[in-house]
A and B are shown apart, each in its own frame.
Chain A
Amino acid sequence: MEQSNQSQPATRRIAIDPVTRVEGHGKITLLLDADNHIQEARFHIVEFRGFEKFIQGRPYWEVPFFVQRLCGICPVSHQLAAAKAVDQLVGVKQLTPSATKLRRLLHFGQILQSHALHFFHLSSPDFLFGFGSDPAQRNIAGVLEKYPEIALKGVKLRKYGQQIIQAITGKRIHGTGTVPGGMNKALSVAERDALLADITDVLQWSQQALALNEQIHTSHPEHRDFATLQTNYLGMTGENGELEFYHGGLRARYADGSPIFDQLDYCDYQQILREEVRPWSYMKFPYLHELGKEQGWYRVGPLARVNNCDRISTPLAEAARQHFRAFAQGEFVHDTLAYHWARMIEVLHCTESIHELLHDPEIIGTELMAEKGDAQQQGIGAIEAPRGTLFHDYQINEEGLVTKANLIVSTTSNNQAMNESVRSVANQYLDGHEITEALLNHLEVAVRAYDPCLSCATHALGKMPLQVELRDVEGKLVNQLTKGTDGEIYR
């Protein structure tokens, strides 16, 4: 960390250019009142992607592979959501059993690798070393050095998820796989057997990862109110209320667990969701229309899903879910840092589900293409991506070219919540204090809990580029701290 020698701390400013190859850029601004209390905290997304625009004019069958380039961490999520929309465009309502199971296996592998990456590579340093610990050590390299067993298991967990993706799509990142109405390749017996060979170890690592996260959260009382919010929750569940990632109905609940709606067809998402645009961020602010802008914001992702579902279909994850809910005396768990715990419950569910699917004879079936029906001019796909509910909505013309696209990505749904969590942490830790690297990391810890997709940036060894500005009541810049993508702090 580089320190300034300038004599006026209130106005000092140090800047070092970012260095690494990250794509995501976040910025936090804090507005102080006359008494130096936090009046406003904002988490800005300052990058512009524009996929909704430049997919226009492209043929619909290209869409899943075009939009998966949105992300290098969870491209499978975008491919699958788009593929579901494209299935509708070609009039396919039901895939063959083998194609459905291949897509589900692919999705479980994707969530497994993404969740493992997020906890072990990105977030574990905060918890293993402490939020305000030496930043030189607070990264995956530090974890590898001091806790090699934990780090290596995390790496292997992710690797296993990637091997599933590679077996089905041909590549670990940005493969193919889905085609309109099915899949382009069966899983061979050899590929299945290779995956089965490691599943026992993966199951064990998943249980250990869950135990570690549970232990971290339950043994740190201060984590309970860190960035914690009482919010609505939105997610997909199966028709019987079970945890469901690939296909189900939408369920929203109030913070007290009472229903807002349930089993809503995701194709009707526009009836329930609105998106607000604010001038200071490229990321929109979705809200539940019937509750309005002020009360209608919600959270998605692992915490929402594990809170929202009535049960989990696999036994070990279900036991973990019950333990999780018991932690809050059967109520919803609102602790923002419990996102990590919920995430590991999902990892365990993924592993158990992968185990089941690999033993299912239909997983190596070769009937992969459904009969196409009447072509449609609008297709809507939704899945539960690692970070939350993901909507893809495409309209095409009679020539098959996309005329309109609407994507509501998971991180967008958590936009308001991330802002609120940043404000909460700023109030709790910054109020009356000078900005330090430790504070900056506290803000990052709050954001990181949501595993936002701008963590394309965070995924560079936990060095998310971040800028904090401190302004007085008149809006004048008082202090500024920038964390570059090289991890260095600049004033």
Chain B
Amino acid sequence: MDDHTITIDGAEIPFQQGQTIMDAALAAEVYIPHLCHYPGLTPRGNCRLCSVDMGNKSVAACTTAAVAGQQISSDTPALNAARKSITQMLFIEGNHICPSCEKSGNCKLQAMGYYLGMLDEHFPQFYQRREIDASHADILLDRDRCILCDLCVRASREVDGKDVFAIAGRGMDAHLIVNSSTGKLIDSNMAASDLAANICPVGAILIKQEGYQVPIGQRIYDQNMINEVGLQEKAVKKTKQDDD
């Protein structure tokens, strides 16, 4: 066996020193479902959709270093069932109104639901009351749709160099906050061109007045499944290392 290969679902794939299982998989065009991972940003293992089996344990592919000889299972009925359950839980924790949501068709959560064959939410809705922040002239923050992936947190910190967002609270109290004197976006230094304003996988952070401009049929996931799109994402370049 090559000193720098791992095996995913029976396929031997190479990796470079320092890569995670996710990095190696994406480089080899092997799709492991994920929502909170984005190439180039520090992985956090928040969503757990990329959980894979390695021996007798499950690990998050995005945070686990690739080590030569690893025997990994990813595309298995049991793991996909667990991923579907996780996706269902993400839906019921927030208030996702896909039928009228402007992110519909461009939403990774919705696309993941389709990819995993999710036909209903299964679990009872939480109907949490969450605040909307429309104070910024160009950006809307709708916490109803936030899945706490913290991509915006990392994008703002590592690429935009601004540190606009953070996750506060724990467990059911976890929520996205804005680092400004009032807690409002208008008092932050965020701009619509920031990566943080454009990386949200769901409809929590949106550029105002751009909704519905892309016709049905031409939206991202009208044309490709999330596994195809996920393999095409280019790594963003950090301007600052995450110091957490």
Q: Please report A residues at the B interface, Cβ cutoff 8 Å.
A: 57, 59, 61-62, 65-66, 68-69, 90, 169-171, 174-180, 184-185, 399-401
| Complex contact B216–A170 (CB within 8 A) | yes
Q: What is the bound-complex CA distance between A185 and B209, given in angstroms?
A: 16
Return 17 A-B CB contacts under 8 Å, by A number.
A59-B134, A61-B208, A62-B211, A65-B99, A65-B100, A66-B97, A68-B100, A174-B99, A176-B212, A176-B215, A179-B211, A179-B212, A184-B213, A185-B215, A400-B134, A400-B209, A401-B134
* Residues in chain B near residue A178, CB distance under 8 A: 212
Do the beta carbons of B135 and A399 come within 8 Å of each other? yes
Q: Are A59 and B140 in contact (CB under 8 A)?
A: yes
Partner of A170, one of B135, B213, B215: B215
- Chain A residues near B97: list those with CB within 8 A: 66
Q: Are A180 and B215 in contact (CB under 8 A)?
A: no
Contact of B100 among A69, A170, A180, A399 (CB under 8 A): A69
The answer for the CA separation of A68 and B209 in the assembled complex, in Å, is 19
Given contacts A59-B134, A61-B102, contact A176 B209 (CB under 8 A): no
Cβ contact within 8 Å between A401 and B216 = no
Is B169 among interface residues, defined by CB-CB distance under 8 A?
no
Nearest-neighbor residue (CB-CB) of A177 within chain B: B215
List of B residues within 8 angstroms of A57 by Cβ: 132
B214 at the interface (CB under 8 A from A): yes
With both beta carbons as reference points, the residue of chain B lying nearest to A166 in the complex is identified as B216
Residue B217 at the A interface, CB < 8 A?
Answer: yes
Measured CA separation A65–B203 after assembly (Å): 15
> What 0/1 pattern do residues 98 to 123 of B give for CB contact below 8 A with A?
01111000000000000000000000
Q: In the complex the two chains form, is B102's CB within 8 Å of A171's CB?
A: no
- Cβ contact of A65, chosen from B102, B209, B217, B218, cutoff 8 A: B102
CB-nearest residue of chain A relative to B134?
A: A399
The reply to whether B208 and A400 form a contact with Cβ atoms under 8 Å apart is: yes
- Within the complex, the shortest CB–CB distance from B125 to chain A, in Å, comes to 14
A-B pairs, 6 with minimum CB distance: A170-B216, A185-B215, A399-B134, A65-B100, A66-B100, A176-B212
Instruction: Report the Cα distance A97→B134, complex, angstroms.
Output: 33
Chain A contact residues: helix, strand, loop or mixed: loop
Asked if residues A61 and B212 are in contact (CB atoms below 8 Å), the reply is yes
B214 close to A184 (CB less than 8 A): yes
Q: Do residues A401 and B215 form an inter-chain contact, with CB atoms below 8 A?
A: no
A174 to B212, CA, bound (A): 12
- Whether A171 contacts B216 by the Cβ 8 Å rule is yes
Chain B residue nearest in CB terms to A60: B209
Q: Are A180 and B99 in contact (CB under 8 A)?
A: no
- When chains A and B are docked, how far (Å) is the Cα of A65 from the Cα of B218? 18
Known contacts A184-B214, A184-B215; is A401 also within 8 Å of B99 by CB? Answer: no
Cα(A176)–Cα(B210), bound, Å:
13
Chain B interface main SS type: loop
Q: How far is the CA of A170 from the CA of B215 in the complex (A)?
A: 7
For the complex, give the distance between the alpha carbons of A104 and B155 in Å.
44
A180 to B211, CA, bound (A): 10
Known: A65-B100, A66-B100. A169 touches B216 (CB 8 A): yes
> In the complex, which residues of chain A have a beta carbon less than 8 angstroms from the beta carbon of B211?
59, 61-62, 179
Contacts of B209 in A (CB 8 A): 61, 90, 180, 400
Q: Mark B119-149, 1 if CB is under 8 A from A, else 0.
A: 0000000000000101100001000000000
Contacts of B134 in A (CB 8 A): 59, 399-401
Residue of B101, B209, B214, B218 with most partner-chain A CB within 10 A: B209
A58 (CB) vs chain B CBs: closest residue: B132
Which B-chain residue is minimally distant from A186 (CB atoms)?
B215
**B161-209 contacts to A (CB < 8 Å):** 208-209
What CA separation (Å) do A400 and B101 show in the bound complex?
16
Q: Give me 11 other A-B pairs in contact (C-beta within 8 A), A62-B102, A90-B209, A180-B209 excluded.
A: A57-B132, A59-B208, A59-B211, A61-B209, A61-B211, A62-B211, A69-B100, A170-B215, A184-B213, A400-B209, A401-B132
| Contacting residues, chain B, for A169 (C-beta < 8 A) | 216
**Docked complex Cα distance between A174 and B99 (Å):** 8
CA distance A190 to B234 in the complex (A): 35
Closest Cβ of chain B to A291, distance in Å, is 38
- Tell me whether B100 and A62 are in contact (CB under 8 A): yes
B64 to chain A, nearest CB (A): 40
Docked pose: A66 CA to B218 CA in angstroms: 21
The smallest beta-carbon distance between B11 and chain A, in angstroms, is 38
For the complex, what is the distance from the CA of A353 to the CA of B100, rounded to whole Å? 30
Encoded as 1 (CB less than 8 Å from any A CB) or 0, chain B from 51 to 62 comes to: 000000000000
Among A68, A69, A171, A185, residue most surrounded by chain B Cβ atoms (within 10 Å)? A185
In the complex formed, the residue of B with least CB distance to A170 is: B216
A211 to B239, CA, bound (A): 73
In the complex, what's the smallest C-beta–C-beta distance from B223 to chain A, in angstroms? 13
CB distance from B187 to the nearest CB of A (A): 14
Q: Which residues of A contact B99 (CB under 8 A)?
A: 65, 69, 174
Residue of B nearest to A185 (CB): B215
Residues of A within 8 Å of B140, CB to CB, are 59
Contacts of B102 in A (CB 8 A): 61-62, 65
State in angstroms the CA–CA spacing of A68 and B100 once bound together: 9
Q: Which residue on B lies nearest to A57, using beta carbons?
A: B132
Given A61-B102, A61-B211; A175-B216 close (CB under 8 Å): yes
Do B132 and A179 touch (CB < 8 A)? Answer: no
A179 near B100 with CB under 8 A, answer no
Closest Cβ of chain B: how far from A324's Cβ, in Å?
Answer: 39
Q: Write the nearest CB–CB distance from B216 to chain A, whole angstroms.
A: 3
| CB-defined contacts of A175 to chain B, threshold 8 Å | 216
Residue of A with least CB distance to B102: A62
Contacts of A68 in B (CB 8 A): 100
- In the bound complex, residues from chain B placing their C-beta under 8 Å from that of A174 are 99
Closest CB in chain B relative to A441 CB, distance in Å: 34
Nearest chain B CB to A138 CB, angstrom units: 34
A179–B216 touching, CB < 8 Å: no
Min CB gap A320→B, angstroms: 36
Instruction: Report the Cα distance A65→B212, complex, angstroms.
Output: 9
The smallest C-beta distance from B139 to any residue of chain A, in angstroms, reads: 11
How distant is the Cα of A310 from the Cα of B244 in the complex, in angstroms? 74
Chain A residue nearest to B133 (CB atoms) is A399
Q: Bound state CA distance, A59 and B140, in angstroms?
A: 9
**Chain B residues positioned under 8 Å from A176 (CB to CB):** 212, 215-216
B135 contact set on A, CB distance < 8 A: 399
Residues of chain A contacted by B213 (CB below 8 angstroms): 179, 184
